[in-house]
Amino acid sequence: MNGKGEAPREIAMPVSVFAALRAEVAKEAGALLTVHALHHAGYTTGTAAAPVLLANGAGESTSLGESAFWVKLADFFGKRGWGTLSHERPHRAVGLLSSPDWAESTGGGNDPQASCHFSTGFLSGLLSEIAGGPVAVLEVGCRARGGDACRFAFGSEGAIHELYGRLIDGAELDGALAAL
């Protein structure tokens, strides 16, 4: 809601905005600060988007069953051009959101870094706002690095931090999840 009690306004932009923002911020701030800036901007935007998701469609998202909530979330992103989104629960402490056509990904498969920094923050802010507490999100697969989909792991800060450490140590995602 804005200051007048109205629903937040939404606008549509071409997906090229993500690459342009990433490139321009990187020229000014460098790669690491770009990741942080886009993640923080995404988080703030995600928290602001939560009321739109909660008001979208019938009923409150917080009162939906788990599978209905994930369908509603996928519909929310799909209708706004972000891409198709699916949910799975590969571990009791970590969920995964996957998309073969996620809008922020640069695709192409030759980038050494994941490219969905804004989305990672956006998902964290959105899920944190809906959950009423912190939900950490980590991009664990990206089409920009040659993956078949962008994949976002989410859970408590502790679980995601432990998952990240295992991935940094060279574990594959399935092995890292099994070791949690």
pLDDT tens digit sequence for 96-117: 999 999 999 976 767 777 889 9
**Lowest-pLDDT choice from 64-73, 88-97, 106-115:** 106-115
User: For residue 23, what are its two tokens?
Assistant: 């490139």
Q: What is the pTM of this model?
A: 0.90
Residues contacting residue 172 through CB under 8 Å, at least 6 positions apart: none
**Could you tell me the CATH superfamily of domain 16-179?**
Trafficking protein particle complex subunit 3 (3.30.1380.20)
